[in-house]
Structures are given as structure tokens and as C-alpha cells.
Structure 1
Amino acid sequence: MDKPILKDSMRLFEPLGRIKSRSMFGGFGIFADETMFALVVHNKLHIRADSTLRKQFKQLGFEPYIYHKRGFPVVTKYFALSEEWYNDSEKALEIARAAHARAQVEKSSQAETKPTRIKDLPNLRLATERMLKKAGIEDVQQLHQTGSLEAFKAIRNSHTSEVSLELLWSLEGAIQGTHWSVVPLARREELLARLQH
């Protein structure tokens, strides 16, 4: 990972709010005030696109970042800026500002339409919903009240086969409303320590 691109991008985006980065998608996500709008991966700056920006980015010839998950290609919403755009800080900041604003709108509309079914939470599927129901956790509210660790233990106790630790991270991410890969390492270590006691 070429850190200067990450550092330079973070410095460039300071006018957008409190900037921080987090390891994700094999690179580093860039957040302004807790909303991710950019990604630095493979030595390139990628900007998040909604349906409007996606059309604009494709017209400009920007390519979406594709990463592989369990051997399958996943096309992301993040498009690599061309060198011309990256080297023009005004243009890069302008497009990042638009991407950040749209990402915030999307985030707030998702918060308003909170899922009621477990399978609709981030990271979880119908199979997870069934496992949780078998363990006595019927809905999203009950999952939130139970917490990821106790829900994981309940599944482990009611499940006949071995349950992967990834499920614990998935449950924690689901409760926090994020992808399991962004659950902070410190929080994972805390959950693991509590699980082993």
C-alpha cells in the first residue's frame, strides 16, 4: 500500500469534516464525520458513486474497484480517479464533496428505514435468522437487547455443528449497522476475551 496517496488524500479532504481512515476492501476507507466516501487501494484513490455519479464516472472513463470475496469478484461503488483528476486537487475535492454529500443522504435514509427482520441486517442471511430463532432470538429488537456475544453463545449452544468466529463479527457488525470487516480490532479482541472466560 502506497501510504503517501492515503495521507495526501486525507489532507486534501480535511475541508469535508473530521477525516479518518480504516482498513477495508484490501485498502483503506476514508471517512468524513463517520461517513465513508473514498477508498485508497492499489495505489489509487477511489471515490464512492451513487447512480448519478456512476454515470458521470463512466463517461469520464473511471473504472470501479473490484475485489474478490471467497473467490468471487465483487464490483464496488468506488471508482478510481484518473491521474488527471487525482493531480487536480480542486477537481478531486469537488467530486469528493459531492460523493460525501450523497453518501450522507444515503446513510440517513437507511437509518430511517431500519430493518425489522434479522435477515435484512448487514452481514446476515435467512440461514442466520433461522439459527437465531432456533436459539430463541426472534427479531431485530431482541438481537439488539441480547448483544452479539450472548447471541453467538446461544447459537453455539443450540447448533449441532461448529460455529465460526466470523459469525460473532457478523452479529456485532449487524448490531452496529456495518459490514463485519469494519468491526474494530479492539472490539473483536474484547469480544474474544469475554467469550473465552
Structure 2
Amino acid sequence: MSSRSPFVDQAVAHLNQVAPVTARFMFGGYGLFVEGVMIALIADDVLYFKVDDQNREDYIEAVSEPFTYYGKGKPIQMSYYRLPSEVFDNLEQLVQWVEASQAAAARSKSKSKRTQKESL
């Protein structure tokens, strides 16, 4: 029996219809991974997808909110936005948003590798 929240299990099962998603417990929530790359997170039973400058506008237009937590006495906004429920419920759209988040995660990973090399 799973000790995860039912929401995590349901979200992973639903997302597996469009991509091979796995969940890993992290920092009180869950990171969702496709092929070893984190494309989404779940915190307090809310699903957030990875964004960057190329897909953030889709979330803003959908009146989505960024994942924000409080650290060192102030809010810290991360590059993940709440996935709109209408996208989650539409598999055709969901495929596109998963792919866009995968691309954003890949760009972010590539960018951090370049930054590490430049600082050496």
C-alpha cells in the first residue's frame, strides 16, 4: 500500500497516459520526473509544471499561479506554475504541456551545466 497521498498516485497515473512519469518524495512534496528530468512538482496536493520564458505565458494567460514557498522570512517563487485543471482533463492538451515542460526542464538543465563550466 502506498503512503503517498491519493492525489499523487492519481496524478502520476493520469500523467502516465501521456509520458512515463515517476514521483520521488522531495522536501515535503514530490518531484515528477520523465527520463530522469524533473518536469513537475506536487505540493499540498497541487500539481505544478516547469516553466521558462518559452512557456510561462501559457500559464499566465490561463491565470495560473507560480509555486511559492517561504524561506528566510520571505516568499520565494520557483519556476513551476500550477497546471490548469482544464489542461489536466484534456489529454491532447496535456501532451503539449508535458512536452513544453520537458523542454523547459532540459533548457534549464543545459543552462546550469553551461554556468558550472563557465565558473571553472
Q: Is the TM value for this pair above 0.5?
A: yes
**Alpha-carbon distance between aligned partners in 1 of 2:59 and 2:104, rounded to the nearest angstrom:** 15
Query: Which structure 2 residues correspond to residues 184-195 of structure 1 after superposition, within 5 A?
Result: none
1:90 aligns with 2:89: no
What TM-score, normalized to structure 2? 0.79
**Alpha-carbon distance between aligned partners in 2 of 1:75 and 1:113, rounded to the nearest angstrom:** 21
- Kindly state the Cα deviation for residue 25 of structure 1 after the two structures are TM-superposed: 4.8
Counterpart contact for 2:55–2:104, Cα < 8 Å? no
- Kindly state the Cα deviation for residue 8 of structure 1 after the two structures are TM-superposed: 2.4
SS of equivalent residue, structure 1 residue 94: helix
Counterpart contact for 1:16–1:32, Cα < 8 Å? yes
Out of 11, 14, 17, the residue aligned to residue 12 of structure 1 is 14
Match of 1:60 in 2: 62
Query: Which structure 2 residues correspond to residues 1-197 of structure 1 after superposition, within 5 A?
Result: 3-14=5-16, 15-17=18-20, 19-115=21-117, 117=119
Identity %: 25
Cα deviation digits, residues 86-138 of structure 1 (max 9, x gap): 22233223201211122113313432442465xxxxxxxxxxxxxxxxxxxxx
**Alpha-carbon distance between aligned partners in 1 of 2:22 and 2:92, rounded to the nearest angstrom:** 20
* Structure 2 residues without counterparts, runs of 5 or longer: none
* Structure 1 residues without counterparts, runs of 5 or longer: 118-139, 141-197
Counterpart contact for 1:46–1:78, Cα < 8 Å? yes
Letter in 1 for 2:90: D
- Kindly state the Cα deviation for residue 78 of structure 1 after the two structures are TM-superposed: 1.0
- Kindly state the Cα deviation for residue 59 of structure 1 after the two structures are TM-superposed: 0.8
CA distance 1:59–1:85, change in 2 (3 Å): same
- Kindly state the Cα deviation for residue 6 of structure 1 after the two structures are TM-superposed: 1.5
Cα deviation digits, residues 51-73 of structure 1 (max 9, x gap): 12111110111111111113221
Q: Whose relative contact order is higher, 1 or 2, with alpha carbons under 8 Å and at least 6 apart?
A: 2
The structure with the largest helix share of the pair is 1
Count of residue correspondences: 117
CA distance 1:4–1:93, change in 2 (3 Å): farther
**Alpha-carbon distance between aligned partners in 2 of 1:34 and 1:52, rounded to the nearest angstrom:** 21
Match of 1:174 in 2: none
Aligned CA RMSD, in angstroms, stands at 2.4
